[in-house]
Amino acid sequence: MKNAGLEAAFVTETDLPFPVAGALRVEDQIQFHPRRYLVGLAEAIVANGGRVHENTRVTDLKEGEPCLLRTEHGAVVRAREVVVATLAPVFEQLRLSTRLSAIRELVVAGPIPADRDPGGMYITRELSTRSVRTAPLPDGRRLLLITGEGFAPGAGHVAERYERLIDWARKHFGATDITHRWSAQDTQTTDTLPWIGRAPGTEHVFVATGYARSGMSHGVMTGRLIADLLTDRTPPWADLYDPSRVHPAHEATATAEDVAAIAGHYVGDRISAWSGSVEDVPKGSGRVVTVDGRPCAVHRDEHGNLTAVSATCPHRGCVVAFNDTESTWECPCHGSRFAADGTLLNGPANRPLEPITDLPG
């Protein structure tokens, strides 16, 4: 870290309410309000003559001069250069989405007295990561935010994961009143550094992905790096993030593991699909039920109404799993997510789950 110009020191004392064997302390970090920051960025784009279009999904990209982007509503946008800065690159011709792994993470938050504020921001290095910070509340207390319990989409047991995080917040910080909880998803490359730069095999398409849960800082760096690349001022460190890089050792091992895991989701999930029938799907939940040999994702709402969609992910055909806590279908292979009725929430899939209208019963 010192070689990178950061003021860092090894310490054994912190302001955390429990002892630590050791910690790496980095001075002069900044914590800021993410929404205000994003709103400020959007306003800066508009103030500089740009336009921001929300809720406009791009479903197709053809690279050329110009590049052509088709939206789900049929409009065609022409662009000299395209930056694909989505969670996972949603265009299959970029051949990146299957080399990324997806991870979900949970956050719980609640007020604590100001004198229990540990100050600063903390992150553990243990396997079961905990990240700790606080934010000011109008009444003088602090809002404690604990992040952790990362898991692969579709892995389930989300309620238990939240409970573990809440128990930890209570035990260490006395946060008895958990007022907020939410989850987020990110992607990670095989060597853990993001891919930021020109997409492999393209001239006019750039990508930014694989932030590995450090999106605020990587996002800032992406803006600078891609602006430099677009104006032919390639910085000497650009290769570090080049999406065309392949780390043979990392990539070979990770790919072999991923292929084995994904093969399990193509085949194993079908075999181990829930043994119950459509009638047995509990209220407020969803199950993958095999009907006439097809894996069907069946959801029953709190009133007993059923919705059935194909359980086959339109990205590469893995079988989705239901997340009871968020009422979503999640694909264990590359992290696509869908609402209970099959509506696409996030890629790499760029289509919803197919509706099933001929479910028996």
Q: Which residues bind ligand FES (CB under 6 A)?
A: 313, 315-318, 331, 333-336, 348-349
CB contact burial 24-63 (16+ within 10 A = b; e otherwise): eeeeeeeeeeeeeeeeeeeeeeeeeeeeeeeeeebeebeb
Rounded CA separation 101/190 (Å): 8
Nearest approach, Cβ of 124 to ligand FES (angstroms)? Answer: 29
Q: In whole angstroms, how far apart are CA 266 and each of 16, 259, 291?
A: 44, 10, 17
- Please state the closest distance from residue 326 (CB atom) to ligand FES, in A: 17
Residue type, 208: A
Question: Nearest approach, Cβ of 318 to ligand FES (angstroms)?
Answer: 4
Rounded Cα distance, 219 and 223, in Å: 6
Whole-number minimum distance, CB 335 to ligand FES, in Å?
6
Q: How far is the CB of 97 from ligand FES (least distance, A)?
A: 7
Write down the least CB distance from residue 142 to ligand FES, Å.
Answer: 38
CB of 152 to ligand FES, least distance (A): 11
Q: Give, in degrees to the nearest 5, the angle at Cα 151 between 145 and 155.
A: 135
Q: In the complex with ligand FES, which residue's Cβ is closer, 328 or 336?
A: 336
Strands 328-330 and 321-323: antiparallel
Nearest CB to ligand FES, comparing residues 58 and 132: 58
Comparing CB distances to ligand FES, the nearer of 145 and 349 is: 349
197 CB-contact burial (10 Å; exposed 0-12 / middle 13-18 / buried 19+) = buried
Residue 39 CA: distances (Å) to CA of 35, 45, 52: 6, 10, 11
For residues 281 and 349, which CB has a smaller minimum distance to ligand FES in the complex? 349
What is the C-alpha to C-alpha distance for residues 246 and 254, in angstroms, rounded to an integer?
12
Which residues are registered as beta bridge partners of 62? 68
Residue (57 or 224) nearer to ligand FES, CB:
57
User: By C-beta, is 213 or 316 nearer to ligand FES?
Assistant: 316
Q: Are strands 180-188 and 142-151 parallel, antiparallel or unpaired?
A: unpaired
Cα–Cα distance, 224 to 218 (Å, whole number): 10
| Contact call for residues 152 and 142 (beta carbons, < 8 A) | no
Burial bucket for residue 360 (CB in 10 Å: 0-12, 13-18, 19+): exposed
Closest approach of ligand FES to the CB of residue 207, in Å: 17
Nearer to ligand FES, 162 or 322 (CB): 322
The nearer residue to ligand FES, 161 or 316, going by C-beta atoms, is 316
**Nearest residue to 215 (alpha-carbon basis) of 25, 34, 18, 58:** 34
- Smallest distance, ligand FES to C-beta of residue 217, A: 26
Q: Which is nearer to ligand FES, 286 or 335 (CB)?
A: 335
Q: What are the phi and psi torsion angles at 2 (to 5°)?
A: -60, -35
